[in-house]
Structure 1
Amino acid sequence: MPIFRAPDGTRLTYHLRGEGEPLVVLPGGPMRASAYLGNLGGLDAHRQLVLLDLRGTGESEVPADPGTYRCDRLVDDVEALRLQLRRERMDVLAHSAGGSLAMLYAARHPQRLGRLALITATPWALGMPATAGDRLTAARLRASEPWFADAFPPFEAWLEGRGDFDPAFLPFFYGRWDDAARAHADREETETNDDAAEIYGADGAYEPDATRSALARVTTPVLVLAGGVDGGPRPALARQAAQAFPAAGFAVQPGAGHYPWLDDPDRFVRRVAGFFS
């Protein structure tokens, strides 16, 4: 397990899967250990995955200053990883909340970025959160699923502030609610640093106008991939986020939820490996 130091001295770790050209992978959650990404459906057969455990998650050290969990401050950790890998430029794949971290990195270090894939990434950094309406619209696409009748009412109550989080609605985050999805969902609580997640998007983390201006000058190729039944972001919101990049391509994986490499690994790997090749 490789170890390196952040600029403030915090000990960080990353995990290597596969061989070949490195592909830096930024996890979501926010602040979930990179273990949940697995091998991204077999993407490690095409690239060496460099799975970063963000500070305070997985095998990385808890920082002395909790304020450094904020998304904009994590950009320095990503740059420290590039230096650790001794890459002039690095290709990056970011999932979910990690997409905002990748956007901030691209805005601050455009000359250090090779290609960038944003996978079901809610564009908080652009001031474009997924709304309760977005999520409910996507959820209604699942009305024919056998679990829908039990899952939708608590999901609606949670999104409208009338109820607490309920595991009954976890199926809405997956395109297929099978044994693999259940096992993946069961690990989330133990893999996530909830205290850090509360700070990730705290006041000051994002400056959407400045980020948009900076990204307008980023000419590196970008892939924005949405899940067809994902509510955060819905494909329409992901398409809007893609417009922030001059050289972005947009794709939807049909039937996929928030974790498309679980829902259809072959389709996911073909699309993403093709982009990075």
Structure 2
Amino acid sequence: MNRSMCSGRVAAGPRALPTRARSAHRAAAQRTTVRVCLSLRSVGVIAELFGVLPPEGAPVLQKLVKAVKEDMEEAQQERQEAQQERQEAQQERQQAQQERQQAEQRKDEAVAVMIREKDEKMVLADKFRQQEKMLARAMYSAGVRDGRSCLEFLETLNGIVRRQRVKGWTKVLEQRPDLIDCLAKAAPSWGVDVNDSKAAEKLAGKIAGMFNVLSNRIHTFVPEVGLVVYAGVPDSPTGEALVCLAEAFGVPCERHQSVSL
């Protein structure tokens, strides 16, 4: 009699495989599947298998071949998609690099333009200073020594006759609304409104009156510098109006602090 039955214990079922054994079985099954898939990748092998297998095995093989073929096509498609993604990523990197290079090039060009413009401005400014010096020397040679003689020079320049100063300056101012605006703002105490239809005539009378307060020793004219106007001499409206007239006709002019005469 079986010892297990005599002892009253129930016989145990088949003993379960240890964990290590189960892992080994799974690995062996996976290796077998891989070998089968690798062997079935060859169309020639598949055709040969069709020829040697019995008819009843053909449907199974067909299913297996179909599954392997689908897996291979899917893998091929995935490889193509991955390759396409890599190509697109490379194109994006190349485009980004090209954009960075273009940005750097534009930046360099902008800096070059700024430097060139700065150099050109410096050259123009230097030429302008040289022209001012030449003009100042020419005016000094023509007898300009102070504010009064400078004003007389401007009258000669504009063809204004001494006995018709108001009429002459009125004609000049009517053609120079910018000068009317400058004089009205420089000498607000003159009380001339720029919108007044007779603003030019009123300002012309004020300019003619400047000769009554500008003596031969007020405001000096220096060669290579130009007219030096002292603030508030003999009064603020006269000095500021003289600056407006000088600048309007391109006469070199500098403002200085008031000095005792």
TM superposition score normalised by structure 1: 0.20
RCO greater where, 1 or 2, for CA within 8 Å and sep 6 or more? 1
Say which structure is richer in strand.
1
TM superposition score normalised by structure 2: 0.21
